[in-house]
Amino acid sequence: QVKSVNLSDGEVLSIRGVDGDALVVLANQTLLVEGQVIRSPTNTISVYFRTFQDDVVGTFQLHYQVFMLSCNFPRRPDFGEVTVMDLHSGGIAHFHCHLGYELQGPRMLTCINASRPHWSSPEPICSAPCGGTVHNATIGRVLSPSYSGNQSGSMYCVWAIGAPPGQKLHLHFEKLLLTEKDRMVVYSGDNNRSAVLYDSLRADSVPFEGVISDGSSIRIDFLAEEPAAATAFNIRFEAFERGHCYEPYIQNGNFTTSDPTYNLGTTVEFTCDPGHSLEQGPAVIECINMRDPYWNDTEPLCRATCGGELTAVAGVILSPNWPEPYTEGEDCIWRIHVGEEKRLFLDIQLLNITNSDILTIYDGDELSSRILGQYVGSSGPQKLYSSSPDLTIQFHSDPAGLIFGKGQGFIMNYIEVSRNDSCSDLPEIQNGWKTTSHTELVRGAKITYQCDPGYDIVGSDTLTCQWDLSWSSDPPFCEKIMYCTDPGEVEHSTRLISDPVLLVGTTIQYTCNPGFVLEGSSLLTCYSRETGTPIWTSRLPHCVSEESLACDNPGLPENGYQILYKRLYLPGESLTFMCYEGFELMGEVTIKCILGQPSHWSGPLPICKVNQDSFEHALEVAEAAAETSLEGGNMALAIFIPVLIISLLLGGAYIYLTRCRYYSSLRLPLMYSHPYSQITVETEFDNPIYETGETREYEVSI
């Protein structure tokens, strides 16, 4: 940045960018003014100063600051789109093609860090293929094959389109330009023996209302005996349910409908994008005919207008017939008028016309006004300011334009700006906001752009009003973030990613290593939110060791046992209890180990209680046995007592009689003579065998 500059006559001050061995002059003493910002295209800048003065030497002061270099915004492929995640080193650019086109080249480019950062390879292109097969078709396009210009021989292409069962197909001829040596045949089936819906050799005109298949398939044959660039067709196909009208379509416009299913009686109203007007059809159509519903008229077309009066504070001006090439002999005039105290800023974003066509910008409302710019052929972006609230644009295409070919056309935006000596106010950006460093946009003022949550800024976020009252770069725009940040690896696991870019819809599957258990969701999906950046469906899981999460064996219930006893049970495993015979299980028969910190059982240990029914039955059996025993005892007692009495009587009598006999022989006289003779001790034992040497007398009582 130039802080101050005061050079003497003849002194040279040059600021140059260094690109290898080459030096690129960025500014010199004739252009340097205070406050000017100069950016080097590489990581090196050179300041060259030369003077021939000996006494009075000029002075200057420059302030330098490092900023991050970035890749240029990649070129958007024709008939495709590019989405950029980041323009700095490591940034990614994604490419995709419009319906009907195929990408040729890498789908993804990476910004490579270097002295001058560059993309990893050239940008891909989108080309239309010659033929193809579409299964379960919903919506798509069949386009004329891309013409390379060096083709020789004939070209034969076949497209086979099949809708889901029970559905029909509608073909809409948005464009059909064939040469005399071209032929196109559309069959209502999957082979060339099916009924013919359209044959270019036999048809008098193009069926712009479209054709509808009888079944669920259509075949398109195209033969070009001599391929030429003049051949061009764009056929849109879509599948729809029987008993409904097909979904309408309008290019460069939009529509609203009373019934999104397009049932009988549905009405559709069409509108066009800025810079276009409605042609060749009504603004409202209706679905009619109960037996076989169809639209009462064809869809209209939105075409870029050739000239007009414009009074809005901002608008768009397109070349006639955009996005198709303009025709020969066009003569269009646009007049723009805004507020009296304002002026106009015209931003020519695209200008691609032939060398025989001319585009002129007038600073006023007349063709005699001062010319701001006049262009032929192709040119880069241009920015123009009017000195008044009026601006006139004239475009003329050569009636004999075939000599120089056809140009792509042009795109211009205009906006009303203030007339003071300052930079023009910049527009607000969609899905974001801006802040300014100064109340007035004087030289050196800065405007900083920021995006709403969920959006990334594409382009420079800070713009500076330069000495020539132009901004340092174009305003950025906010692009919705369609990717999630990498959630990271999970320790002790592996992961499988469906898309390395992590776009919305990407899934990541985590699998724990052996010996570890997943805690949390194993599948994470990136999904988009209306507000905010896309996020993952759940938090990052964890892989923990099995032992740390296992449930200990809860033990055995009293009078019960376990089935398949183990010491530890992993989360999700179950344990079943049983009771011994005669006991009833109270509680859960099966409990499960629930994952947690720590893991726990789904219920308490059950209890084995005595079965009441079994107990009562056992009691009844015992009582019956007791009663039976008592009855037997009573009977035995009834028999035993009389026997005992008789036994006692007989025993007593026996004892009595025995004693009485003994005592009568010793003491008492008997009534009858004793049969035994009385002996003495001396006589009876007078025997040497029994002789003891002494004599004793005994008395025995019984």
Same domain, 221 and 159: yes
Q: How confident is the model at residue 615 (pLDDT cuts 50, 70, 90)?
A: low
- How many helices (H) and strands (E) the chain has is answered by 3, 55
Listed in sequence order, the residues at least 6 apart from 170 whose beta carbon sits closer than 8 Å to its beta carbon are 210, 211, 212, 213, 237, 238, 240, 246
Domain boundary among 271, 303, 335: 303
Same domain, 294 and 185: yes
Domain-located, residue 107: yes
CA distances from 534 to 510, 529, 695 (A): 20, 6, 139
Residue 626 has pLDDT above 80, yes or no: no
Same domain, 170 and 286: yes
Could you report the per-residue pLDDT of 544-564, keeping only the tens digit for each? Answer: 887 788 888 999 999 999 988
Same domain, 264 and 143: yes
623-661 burial, b at 16+ Cβ within 10 Å, e below that, comes to eeeeeeeeeeeeeeeeeeeeeeeeeeeeeeeeeeeeeee
The total domain count for the chain is: 7
User: How far is it, in rounded angstroms, from Cα 261 to Cα 247?
Assistant: 8
CATH classification of the domain holding 236: 2.60.120.290
Domain-located, residue 660: yes
487 versus 418: the higher-pLDDT residue is: 487
- The mean pLDDT value for 645-658 works out to 72
Q: What is the pTM of this model?
A: 0.43
Q: Are 460 and 472 in contact (CB under 8 A)?
A: yes
- pLDDT value of residue 512: 93
Q: How confident is the model at residue 698 (pLDDT cuts 50, 70, 90)?
A: very low
- The mean pLDDT value for 319-345 works out to 86
Domain boundary among 282, 303, 324: 303
Domain boundaries, position 676:
643-702
Range with lowest mean pLDDT among 47-56, 307-316, 363-372, 628-637 = 628-637
Residue 219 has pLDDT above 90, yes or no: yes
**Among 471, 477, 441, which Cα is nearest to 459's?**
477
Q: Are 372 and 344 in contact (CB under 8 A)?
A: no
- pLDDT value of residue 489: 92
Domain-located, residue 15: yes
Same domain, 314 and 378: yes
Residue 153 has pLDDT above 60, yes or no: yes
User: How far is it, in rounded angstroms, from Cα 85 to Cα 502?
Assistant: 12
User: How far is it, in rounded angstroms, from Cα 347 to Cα 411?
Assistant: 9
Same domain, 296 and 314: no
670 versus 389: the higher-pLDDT residue is: 389
Q: Which amino acid does the sequence have at 180?
A: E
Q: How many CB atoms lie within 10 A of CB 269?
A: 13
Q: CA angle, 413 as apex, 95 and 280 as ends, to 5°?
A: 85
- pLDDT value of residue 654: 65
Domain-located, residue 633: no
Same domain, 295 and 376: no
**Could you give the percent of the chain with pLDDT greater than 70?**
87
Range with lowest mean pLDDT among 184-193, 366-375, 611-620 = 611-620
- pLDDT value of residue 500: 85
Same domain, 298 and 312: no
Same domain, 456 and 555: no
- pLDDT value of residue 255: 93
Q: Helix H segments across 290-376? A: none
Could you report the per-residue pLDDT of 442-475, keeping only the tens digit for each? Answer: 878 899 999 887 788 999 999 998 866 788 898 9
Same domain, 313 and 294: no
**Could you give the percent of the chain with pLDDT greater than 90?**
28
- The mean pLDDT value for 639-664 works out to 67
Largest CA distance in the chain: 199
- pLDDT value of residue 689: 36
- pLDDT value of residue 135: 92
Domain-located, residue 323: yes
Residue 267 has pLDDT above 90, yes or no: yes
Residues comprising the chain, all counted: 702
Same domain, 279 and 163: yes
Q: How many CB atoms lie within 10 A of CB 209?
A: 15
CATH classification of the domain holding 88: 2.10.70.10
Domain-located, residue 631: no
Same domain, 172 and 237: yes
Q: How confident is the model at residue 620 (pLDDT cuts 50, 70, 90)?
A: low
- Bridge partner list, 22: 19
Q: How confident is the model at residue 634 (pLDDT cuts 50, 70, 90)?
A: low
**Among 278, 277, 260, 279, which Cα is nearest to 268's?**
260
- pLDDT value of residue 125: 92
- pLDDT value of residue 576: 94
Domain-located, residue 186: yes
Range with lowest mean pLDDT among 59-63, 287-291, 420-424, 568-572 = 420-424
- The mean pLDDT value for 503-507 works out to 88
- pLDDT value of residue 659: 56
Domain-located, residue 50: yes
User: What does the mean pLDDT of the chain come to?
Assistant: 83
Domain boundary among 303, 337, 357: 303
